[in-house]
Amino acid sequence: MFKIIKSFLCLILIFTIIGCINKNQANKRGEYISKMKDNIKIGVAWPLEDYAETFINGIELALNDINQSNILNNKKIEIIYKNDKSSVTGGVEIANEFALDISISAVIGHRNSYISVQTAPIYENAGILHITPGSTSPTLTMRNYQYFLRTIPSDIEIGKQAADYAKAQNYKKIVIYYEKNDYGRALANSFEDQAYKNNIFIVDRRSIISGSDKEFREEVEYWKLMDFDAFFLATVMPAAPDFIKFARNEGFENPVIGGDGLDHDDLIRIGGKCVENTVALSVYNPKDNSKKNIDFKNNYKKKYGNYPDMWAAQAYDTLNLLAYGIKKADSPEPLKIIQAIKNSPKWLGVTGNHSFDKNGEISDKKVVIKKVVNGKFEFVNEGESKDE
């Protein structure tokens, strides 16, 4: 009951905020920004304390490249960081702050789909370009938003490719274990739909609520009575490695497949030997041989002392894509930026090609498959990209 009341109050807060924002805010924003002589302001809304270091590194590296290269005709990009703390309430408060600041052109965020689903209408109503490198919920591109772009494939595409991988491994029976939120449900649904088409039987499907050992024990005791080939995990850190460790310690040797939520070094750091052979889907292949990626890796290593991961690459590409749109539009006005990006046949970043449909969905970005081997990620389908 408490959770229902809390959710209801959050919705009231969201709709109250949307109602408070002037309906003419989008037009006013465009007019104001077109006359600005100051820096181009970009908001970044992210869970800054949760596995965010590499993401921030990617933003900062891109910011340095853009501002030093002077590609925006003597204008600089200024980043305004906000910590949404992986909270809907926190995300909504930040979205409201950005919406009321008429000088902001775009917001990069949020990491979590359950936050972006609630904040997207606020950005839309305010006329802010909302570009997410992390939120994969399909609903975000089903609402005819004018100001929305996604630089990561949706759960539909990731789930489909995960199920195709399961078919290629000849798995016939699978258990789905998913996080009970927008991300987990959408990814689990997509995987299950494609599994059905691939003649894979879903033996059981259950949700992760607390991520505690007590909860894991209740589930695995039930699954000990079943015969199945693999687990599909639609969850993120730290629930994924915590569950895999628990299952291995209970005697389960079944292979594990997961989505982009498992693509993090903490999977290996937390899971140790228990996560060997775990498969994750990602959108960044550090072995890609394009000049852009080679330069990115070298510059990142020089500045931060290690090589970039998916989140560093996603952050780097997303800010560079925004700069590309500003340059192509010859304007920092949100609507002109997004029109310039959508009207471009493709833009090549370190994570591959970027082109978008009318709803802001990325259409041809490659999904790569990674497996933990000897304590490191190896790539199952590395592929190659060519420079434009």
Q: Which of 282, 317, 343 is the last residue of a domain?
A: 282
Q: Residue 19: pLDDT above 50? A: no
Residues 74 and 134 in one domain: yes
> Do 329 and 208 have their domain in common?
no
Closest CA to 361 of 152, 161, 184, 160: 152
Evaluate whether residue 307 is within a structural domain.
yes
Task: Please tell me the least confidently modeled range out of 8-12, 101-105, 129-133, 254-258.
Answer: 8-12
pLDDT digits (tens, 9 = 90+) for 236-258: 999 999 999 999 999 999 999 99
Instruction: Show which of 232, 251, 282 is a domain's final residue.
Output: 282
Residue 109, in any domain of the structure:
yes
In a domain, 220, yes or no: yes
pLDDT at residue 80, as a whole number: 98
Average pLDDT, the chain: 92
Residue 381 confidence (pLDDT): 77
Model confidence at 383, pLDDT cuts 50, 70, 90, reads very low
Q: What is the 3-state secondary structure (H, E, C) of the chain?
A: CHHHHHHHHHHHHHHHHHHHCCCCHHHHHHHHHHHCCCCEEEEEEECCCCCCHHHHHHHHHHHHHHHHHCCCCCCCEEEEEEECCCCHHHHHHHHHHHHHCCCEEEEECCCCHHHHHHHHHHHHHHCCEEEECCCCCHHHHCCCCCCEEECCCCHHHHHHHHHHHHHHCCCCEEEEEEECCHHHHHHHHHHHHHHHHCCCEEEEEEEECCCCHHHHHHHHHHHCCCCCCEEEEECCCCHHHHHHHHHHHCCCCCCEEECHHHCCHHHHHHHHHHHCCCEEEECCCCCCCCHHHHHHHHHHHHHHCCCCCHHHHHHHHHHHHHHHHHHHHCCCCHHHHHHHHHCCCCEEECCEEECECCCCCECCCCCEEEEEECCEEEECCCCCCCCC
Q: Do 160 and 91 have their domain in common? A: no
> Are 173 and 87 members of one domain?
no
Do both 278 and 333 map to the same domain? no
pLDDT of 364: 81
pLDDT score of 346 more than 80:
yes
- Cα separation, 368 vs 282, in Å, equals 5
Q: 3 pLDDT exceeds 60?
A: no
pLDDT of 308 over the 80 cut:
yes
Average pLDDT rounded to a whole number, residues 272-286:
96
Nearest to 27 by CA among 146, 144, 127, 128: 127
Q: How far apart are CA 189 and CA 204, in angstroms?
A: 13
For residues 125-135, average pLDDT: 97
CATH number at residue 332: 3.40.50.2300
pLDDT-derived band at 5 (thresholds 50, 70, 90) equals: low
pLDDT at 155 over 90: yes
Higher-scoring residue by pLDDT: 364, 181? 181
**pLDDT tens by residue, 71-116:** 998 899 999 999 999 999 999 999 999 999 999 999 999 999 999 9
- The residue out of 250, 282, 314 marking a domain boundary is 282
User: How far is Cα 41 from Cα 36, in angstroms, rounded to an integer?
Assistant: 10
- In this prediction, residue 382 carries a pLDDT of 57
Which pLDDT band holds residue 388 (cuts at 50, 70, 90)? very low
**Domain for residue 1, yes or no?**
no
Does 308 lie in the same domain as 217?
A: no
Tokens of 335: 């609507």
Confidence band, pLDDT 50/70/90 cuts, at residue 228? very high
Say whether both 165 and 124 belong to one domain: no
Q: With respect to residue 56, please indicate whether it lies within any of the assigned structural domains.
A: yes
Among 27-31, 308-312, 372-376, 378-382, where is mean pLDDT lowest?
A: 378-382
Q: Would you say residue 381 lies in a domain?
A: no
> Do 329 and 246 sit in the same domain of this protein?
no
- Do 327 and 215 belong to one domain? no
**Residue 56 shares a structural domain with residue 17:** yes
273/321 same-domain check: no
Provide the pLDDT for residue 154. 96
Answer whether residue 15 is part of any domain.
Answer: yes
Q: What is the mean pLDDT of residues 288-303?
A: 96
Q: What confidence score (pLDDT) does residue 23 get?
A: 53
Query: pTM (2 decimals)?
Result: 0.90
Confidence of residue 18 (pLDDT cuts 50, 70, 90): very low
Question: Looking at the 3D structure of the chain, how many domains does it have?
Answer: 2
For 198, the domain range is 156-282
In a shared domain, residues 161 and 233: yes
378 Cβ neighbours under 8 A, 6+ residues apart: 370, 371, 372
pLDDT at site 10 = 55
Residue owning tokens 């990814």: 187
Would you state the structure tokens that stand for residue 372, as one six-digit string?
A: 């933990």
Answer yes or no: is 294 within a domain. Answer: yes
